[in-house]
Amino acid sequence: MEYSIVRVNKENYALFDDMVYFRINNREKTTTEQIEPNNYTANCVMLNNENLHVYAAQVDNRFVGWISAVFIPKIGHPRYGGKGSRQTHEKEY
C-alpha cells in the first residue's frame, strides 16, 4: 500500500470531511449525502492560521488518518528561561 502525507487545505478539505464523517458515523456517506452542498468556508479559514497545521495520510483518493499540530508560544520572562512574547519583552519586571 502506497500512501502520502499531505497538508489539509481548501482544495482537499472535502476528503478530510468524508474521513471525519466515517469516523463519527462508522459508515460512508450515502449518495444523497455526497451531493448535498457543503460550506467549508469557516473551517478552511481556520486552516489558514499560521499556528495550526493539519496533515492527513492519503491512500489513493482517500484520507485515512490525520494529525494536527498547534504552535503555542512559551510564555514567561526570558530572565527565568521563558521565551516570552513581544509584550513581555517590552515591559521590564
More confident residue, 42 or 24: 24
pLDDT in tens, 26-53: 999 999 888 887 888 888 899 999 899 9
- The pTM of the full predicted model, rounded to 2 decimals, is 0.72
Q: Are 77 and 93 in contact (CB under 8 A)?
A: yes
Please report which helix (H) or strand (E) contains residue 21, including its range.
Answer: helix 13-25
| Full set of structural domains in the chain with CATH | 4-70 (3.40.630.30)
DSSP state of 73: P
**Residue 90: alpha-carbon gap to chain centroid:** 32
